[in-house]
Amino acid sequence: MTNIAGRHALITGGASGIGRLTAKKLAAQGARVTIWDINPTSLSAVVSELGADAHGFVCDVANREQVYARARETIAAAGPVDLLINNAGIVSGQDFLDLPDDRIAATFDVNVLALFWAGKAFLPSMIERNDGHIVTIASASGLIGVARLADYSASKWAAIGFDESLRAELRQRAPGVMTTVVCPFYINTGMFRGVQSRFPFLLPILEEDAVAERIVHAIRTNRRRLSLPRLVHLLPALRVLPIGLFDWIANFLGVNVSMKAFVGRAATPAVEAEHERRSA
């Protein structure tokens, strides 16, 4: 069991959703929390909630140089990071051919490449100390392709591959540095507003507070993979089935119609301005 008290935790995308709730739960257990977010207004509000030991930095995790600069500022302000939670993520929720090119690129910039930039910024110190923990928030759609989530599913498959490769390297190089990958079904944060589950008793839309609680427990127990709900655990095993049968099961469970009524969360003016800047 890992003691969280006194540890320095950094959470990307920590000003809303499960990032915010995970930050609050870690702070309640005595962690020194730093959050990064692209939204300065929400960032300030959450830092105030977390107390005097908390820090916050406006950071676009898709911007490599900005990540490295904020990493230096974070370490200068609060010391080496012991726990890195790569939580920042975006979703488009459109049919593949309707996806604008810039949105596809943004999905991979935020959901995939940001993992590399944050990892390069903070992992060397963890390896030197042979102590630390990197948490990657992936998705159940990183274990199964989903209609209208071509870019998102592909990015989360990449996130799972990143975690698995990193775990293998660290086992050889710094076994005291842990990794955890989190693979939840849809979470009721607003990011996936409008999604539906055909069988809620098997695949419930998850409540964000419960997911944040499970993430903190996974960190404390050094759990390597957290899949939510239980049915998600079966996905890797189901891949031994013929593709036709595998697809039939997915369709029967309603996986590929789950995004039909997707609305998502409206972007804030700050986020929209950043998207416009990057696509200009």
Q: Please, how many CA atoms are within 13 Å of residue 271, restricted to the half-sphere of its CB?
A: 18
Structure tokens at 24: 């609050």
Q: Is the pLDDT of residue 277 over 90?
A: no
Q: What is the mean pLDDT of residues 25-42?
A: 97
Q: Is the pLDDT of residue 103 over 50?
A: yes
Q: What pLDDT, on a 0 to 100 scale, did the predictor assign at position 226?
A: 98
Q: Is the pLDDT of residue 273 over 50?
A: no
- Reported confidence tier of residue 2, pLDDT bands at 50, 70, 90: confident
Q: What pLDDT, on a 0 to 100 scale, did the predictor assign at position 266?
A: 64
The percent of residues in the chain predicted with pLDDT above 70, rounded, is 94
- Reported confidence tier of residue 111, pLDDT bands at 50, 70, 90: very high
Indicate if 152 belongs to the active site.
Answer: yes
Q: Is the pLDDT of residue 279 over 70?
A: no
Q: What is the pLDDT of residues 19-30, one digit of tens each?
A: 999 999 999 999
The residues spanned by each domain of the chain are: 8-279
CATH number assigned to the domain covering 8-279:
3.40.50.720
Within 8 A by CB and 6+ apart from 225, the residues are 180, 181, 182, 183
Q: What pLDDT, on a 0 to 100 scale, did the predictor assign at position 269?
A: 44
Q: Please, how many CA atoms are within 13 Å of residue 115, restricted to the half-sphere of its CB?
A: 26
Q: What is the pLDDT of residues 254-267, one digit of tens each?
A: 999 999 999 998 65
Instruction: State the chain's mean pLDDT as an integer.
Output: 94
The CA distances from residue 141 to 24, 76, 85, 172, 226, in Å, are 27, 37, 19, 29, 14
Q: What is the pLDDT of residues 3-17, one digit of tens each?
A: 999 999 999 999 999
**The one catalytic residue among 36, 57, 117, 152:** 152
* Residue 135: alpha-carbon gap to chain centroid: 8
